[in-house]
Protein backbone atom coordinates (compact mmCIF):
# COMPACT_ATOMS: atom_id res chain seq x y z
CA UNK A 1 0.00 0.00 0.00
CA UNK A 2 1.13 3.55 -0.67
CA UNK A 3 2.36 5.31 2.44
CA UNK A 4 0.91 8.78 2.34
CA UNK A 5 2.11 11.53 4.65
CA UNK A 6 1.18 15.17 5.19
CA UNK A 7 2.20 17.92 7.62
CA UNK A 8 0.18 17.65 10.79
CA UNK A 9 -0.89 21.27 10.86
CA UNK A 10 -0.56 24.64 9.16
CA UNK A 11 -1.53 28.16 10.12
CA UNK A 12 -2.48 30.96 7.77
CA UNK A 13 -3.96 34.41 7.78
CA UNK A 14 -7.12 35.17 5.91
CA UNK A 15 -6.49 36.20 2.33
CA UNK A 16 -3.22 34.32 1.94
CA UNK A 17 -2.49 31.45 -0.41
CA UNK A 18 -1.99 28.10 1.30
CA UNK A 19 -0.07 25.16 -0.15
CA UNK A 20 -0.43 21.73 1.45
CA UNK A 21 1.86 18.95 0.30
CA UNK A 22 1.25 15.22 0.35
CA UNK A 23 4.05 12.69 0.00
CA UNK A 24 3.18 9.40 -1.69
CA UNK A 25 6.43 7.69 -2.58
CA UNK A 26 4.85 4.35 -3.46
CA UNK A 27 2.20 5.66 -5.84
CA UNK A 28 1.33 3.19 -8.58
CA UNK A 29 1.16 3.97 -12.28
CA UNK A 30 -2.63 4.09 -12.46
CA UNK A 31 -3.31 5.74 -9.11
CA UNK A 32 -5.22 9.00 -8.96
CA UNK A 33 -4.63 11.74 -6.38
CA UNK A 34 -7.67 13.29 -4.77
CA UNK A 35 -7.95 15.95 -2.07
CA UNK A 36 -10.74 16.22 0.46
CA UNK A 37 -11.75 18.76 3.10
CA UNK A 38 -13.28 17.60 6.36
CA UNK A 39 -15.06 19.62 9.00
CA UNK A 40 -15.80 18.22 12.47
CA UNK A 41 -18.64 15.70 12.54
CA UNK A 42 -18.92 15.69 8.74
CA UNK A 43 -17.75 13.39 6.01
CA UNK A 44 -14.90 14.39 3.71
CA UNK A 45 -15.87 16.78 0.95
CA UNK A 46 -14.29 16.54 -2.51
CA UNK A 47 -12.00 19.39 -3.52
CA UNK A 48 -10.02 18.33 -6.57
CA UNK A 49 -8.62 15.27 -8.36
CA UNK A 50 -5.69 14.82 -10.71
CA UNK A 51 -3.35 12.33 -12.28
CA UNK A 52 -0.38 14.41 -13.43
CA UNK A 53 0.80 17.99 -14.04
CA UNK A 54 -1.67 20.64 -12.96
CA UNK A 55 -5.41 20.71 -12.44
CA UNK A 56 -7.43 23.78 -11.52
CA UNK A 57 -11.05 24.26 -10.59
CA UNK A 58 -13.04 27.07 -9.07
CA UNK A 59 -11.78 26.47 -5.53
CA UNK A 60 -8.26 25.04 -5.76
CA UNK A 61 -5.31 23.94 -7.84
CA UNK A 62 -3.46 20.67 -7.70
CA UNK A 63 0.18 20.42 -8.70
CA UNK A 64 1.72 17.02 -9.43
CA UNK A 65 5.39 16.74 -10.44
CA UNK A 66 6.55 14.40 -13.14
CA UNK A 67 7.59 11.61 -10.76
CA UNK A 68 4.16 11.82 -9.02
CA UNK A 69 5.72 11.02 -5.64
CA UNK A 70 4.13 14.09 -4.14
CA UNK A 71 1.31 16.50 -4.79
CA UNK A 72 0.46 20.00 -3.61
CA UNK A 73 -2.98 21.38 -2.97
CA UNK A 74 -3.10 25.14 -3.42
CA UNK A 75 -5.90 27.19 -1.88
CA UNK A 76 -5.92 30.79 -3.09
CA UNK A 77 -6.92 33.54 -0.67
CA UNK A 78 -8.16 31.39 2.22
CA UNK A 79 -10.94 32.57 4.49
CA UNK A 80 -11.90 31.66 8.04
CA UNK A 81 -14.33 29.09 6.66
CA UNK A 82 -11.44 27.14 5.15
CA UNK A 83 -10.35 26.09 8.64
CA UNK A 84 -10.62 22.32 8.42
CA UNK A 85 -8.61 19.12 8.03
CA UNK A 86 -7.38 18.38 4.52
CA UNK A 87 -6.66 14.86 3.31
CA UNK A 88 -5.05 13.52 0.19
CA UNK A 89 -6.26 10.19 -1.14
CA UNK A 90 -4.09 8.06 -3.38
CA UNK A 91 -5.13 5.04 -5.37
CA UNK A 92 -8.37 3.66 -6.67
CA UNK A 93 -7.76 2.79 -10.27
CA UNK A 94 -8.60 -0.88 -10.62
CA UNK A 95 -8.06 -1.90 -7.02
CA UNK A 96 -10.13 -0.30 -4.27
CA UNK A 97 -8.04 -1.74 -1.46
CA UNK A 98 -5.14 0.44 -2.51
CA UNK A 99 -7.10 3.53 -1.58
CA UNK A 100 -4.98 5.23 1.06
CA UNK A 101 -5.78 8.46 2.82
CA UNK A 102 -2.99 10.68 3.99
CA UNK A 103 -2.42 11.50 7.62
CA UNK A 104 -4.33 14.76 7.29
CA UNK A 105 -3.34 18.42 7.68
CA UNK A 106 -5.21 20.62 10.09
CA UNK A 107 -5.39 24.12 8.60
CA UNK A 108 -6.14 26.99 10.95
CA UNK A 109 -7.03 30.32 9.32
CA UNK A 110 -7.10 33.45 11.44
CA UNK A 111 -7.71 37.15 10.86
CA UNK B 1 -31.79 14.28 -1.12
CA UNK B 2 -28.95 14.56 -3.54
CA UNK B 3 -26.16 13.36 -1.26
CA UNK B 4 -25.10 10.20 0.50
CA UNK B 5 -27.03 9.61 3.70
CA UNK B 6 -26.18 7.40 6.63
CA UNK B 7 -28.15 6.21 9.61
CA UNK B 8 -28.04 6.27 12.49
CA UNK B 9 -25.76 9.27 12.93
CA UNK B 10 -24.81 8.11 16.42
CA UNK B 11 -24.90 4.68 17.96
CA UNK B 12 -23.99 3.60 21.46
CA UNK B 13 -23.62 -0.12 21.97
CA UNK B 14 -22.65 -2.29 24.88
CA UNK B 15 -19.69 -4.53 24.30
CA UNK B 16 -20.89 -7.75 22.74
CA UNK B 17 -23.93 -6.27 21.01
CA UNK B 18 -24.49 -6.47 17.27
CA UNK B 19 -24.95 -3.24 15.31
CA UNK B 20 -26.10 -2.43 11.78
CA UNK B 21 -25.15 0.76 9.99
CA UNK B 22 -27.01 1.88 6.89
CA UNK B 23 -25.84 3.79 3.84
CA UNK B 24 -27.98 5.28 1.10
CA UNK B 25 -25.72 6.24 -1.81
CA UNK B 26 -26.38 8.84 -4.46
CA UNK B 27 -28.96 7.49 -6.88
CA UNK B 28 -27.35 5.86 -9.87
CA UNK B 29 -23.92 5.53 -8.35
CA UNK B 30 -22.40 2.18 -9.18
CA UNK B 31 -19.65 2.04 -6.58
CA UNK B 32 -19.99 2.12 -2.82
CA UNK B 33 -17.22 2.23 -0.23
CA UNK B 34 -17.06 1.84 3.52
CA UNK B 35 -14.31 3.43 5.61
CA UNK B 36 -13.45 3.47 9.30
CA UNK B 37 -12.12 6.69 10.79
CA UNK B 38 -10.61 6.63 14.25
CA UNK B 39 -10.46 9.84 16.24
CA UNK B 40 -7.85 12.21 14.84
CA UNK B 41 -6.89 9.94 11.95
CA UNK B 42 -7.66 9.64 8.28
CA UNK B 43 -10.29 7.24 6.98
CA UNK B 44 -9.19 3.66 6.37
CA UNK B 45 -10.65 1.51 3.63
CA UNK B 46 -12.90 -1.34 4.71
CA UNK B 47 -14.76 -2.67 1.69
CA UNK B 48 -15.94 -1.86 -1.83
CA UNK B 49 -19.01 -2.77 -3.87
CA UNK B 50 -19.68 -2.39 -7.53
CA UNK B 51 -23.43 -2.68 -7.85
CA UNK B 52 -24.36 -5.67 -5.67
CA UNK B 53 -20.99 -7.36 -5.97
CA UNK B 54 -18.55 -7.00 -3.12
CA UNK B 55 -15.32 -6.77 -5.08
CA UNK B 56 -12.99 -6.08 -2.21
CA UNK B 57 -13.35 -6.72 1.50
CA UNK B 58 -9.69 -6.84 2.37
CA UNK B 59 -9.93 -3.91 4.77
CA UNK B 60 -12.49 -5.47 7.09
CA UNK B 61 -10.58 -5.88 10.38
CA UNK B 62 -12.10 -9.18 11.45
CA UNK B 63 -14.78 -11.72 10.63
CA UNK B 64 -17.08 -9.83 12.97
CA UNK B 65 -17.48 -7.23 10.24
CA UNK B 66 -19.85 -7.95 7.39
CA UNK B 67 -21.20 -5.72 4.62
CA UNK B 68 -23.87 -6.23 2.01
CA UNK B 69 -25.55 -4.39 -0.81
CA UNK B 70 -28.15 -6.90 -2.03
CA UNK B 71 -29.89 -4.78 -4.66
CA UNK B 72 -26.99 -2.63 -5.70
CA UNK B 73 -28.22 0.45 -3.90
CA UNK B 74 -28.54 0.65 -0.10
CA UNK B 75 -25.73 -0.96 1.86
CA UNK B 76 -25.50 -2.20 5.42
CA UNK B 77 -22.35 -2.63 7.47
CA UNK B 78 -22.89 -5.07 10.30
CA UNK B 79 -20.59 -5.53 13.25
CA UNK B 80 -21.15 -8.54 15.42
CA UNK B 81 -20.13 -8.84 19.07
CA UNK B 82 -18.84 -5.29 19.18
CA UNK B 83 -15.60 -4.54 21.00
CA UNK B 84 -14.34 -1.26 22.41
CA UNK B 85 -11.76 -1.01 19.64
CA UNK B 86 -14.62 -0.84 17.13
CA UNK B 87 -15.46 2.64 18.40
CA UNK B 88 -14.96 4.98 15.45
CA UNK B 89 -16.77 6.90 12.76
CA UNK B 90 -17.91 4.72 9.89
CA UNK B 91 -18.05 6.58 6.60
CA UNK B 92 -19.82 5.54 3.46
CA UNK B 93 -19.00 6.95 0.03
CA UNK B 94 -20.31 6.38 -3.46
CA UNK B 95 -19.04 7.11 -6.94
CA UNK B 96 -20.64 7.12 -10.35
CA UNK B 97 -18.15 4.74 -11.92
CA UNK B 98 -15.30 2.60 -10.69
CA UNK B 99 -13.00 2.82 -7.70
CA UNK B 100 -10.82 5.47 -9.29
CA UNK B 101 -13.56 8.04 -9.69
CA UNK B 102 -14.47 10.85 -7.35
CA UNK B 103 -16.09 9.61 -4.19
CA UNK B 104 -18.86 11.47 -2.40
CA UNK B 105 -19.07 10.87 1.31
CA UNK B 106 -21.93 10.68 3.74
CA UNK B 107 -21.81 12.33 7.19
CA UNK B 108 -20.76 9.12 8.89
CA UNK B 109 -22.06 7.09 11.80
CA UNK B 110 -20.26 7.60 15.09
CA UNK B 111 -20.16 4.30 16.98
CA UNK B 112 -19.28 4.19 20.64
CA UNK B 113 -18.87 0.80 22.26
CA UNK B 114 -18.98 0.83 26.03
Give me the DSSP letters along chain A. Answer: ---EE--SEEEEETT--EEEEEEETT--TT-EEEEEEE-TTS--EEEEEESSEEEE-SS-EEEE-TT-SEEEEEESS--GGG-EEEEEEEE-SS-GGG-EE---EEEEEE-
Residues in A touching B31 (Cβ below 8 Å): 96
Pick from B31, B58, B102: which is nearest to A46 by CB? Answer: B102
Instruction: Tell me the per-residue pLDDT of A30-79, one tens digit each, with 9 for 90 and over.
Output: 889 999 999 999 999 999 999 998 999 999 999 999 999 999 999 999 99
pLDDT confidence bin for A93, thresholds 50/70/90: low
Q: Are A96 and B107 in contact (CB < 8 Å)? A: no
Interface A-B: count of C-beta contacts within 8 A: 67
pLDDT confidence bin for A94, thresholds 50/70/90: low
pLDDT score, position B52:
95
Closest CA to A27 of A44, A5, A7: A5
What does chain A come to in residues? 111
Residues in B touching A87 (Cβ below 8 Å): 42-43
pLDDT confidence bin for A99, thresholds 50/70/90: confident
Pick from B56, B99, B108: which is nearest to A43 by CB? Answer: B108
Give how far B46 is from chain A: nearest CA, Å: 8
A1, A99 in Cβ contact below 8 A? no
pLDDT score, position A111:
93
A29 interfaces chain B, CB cutoff of 8 Å: no
CA nearest A48 in B: which residue? B102
pLDDT (mean) for A104-109: 97
pLDDT score, position B100:
78
Give how far B81 is from chain A: nearest CA, Å: 25
Distance between CA atoms of residues A72 and A94, nearest Å:
24
pLDDT score, position B101:
83
Q: Are B41 and A100 in contact (CB < 8 Å)? A: no
Amino acid sequence: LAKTTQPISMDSYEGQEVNITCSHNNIATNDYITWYQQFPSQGPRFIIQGYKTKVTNEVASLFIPADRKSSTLSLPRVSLSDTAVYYCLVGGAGTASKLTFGTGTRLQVTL
Amino acid sequence: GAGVSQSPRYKVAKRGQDVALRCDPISGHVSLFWYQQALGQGPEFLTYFQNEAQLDKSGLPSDRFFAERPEGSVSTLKIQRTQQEDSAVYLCASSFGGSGETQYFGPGTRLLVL
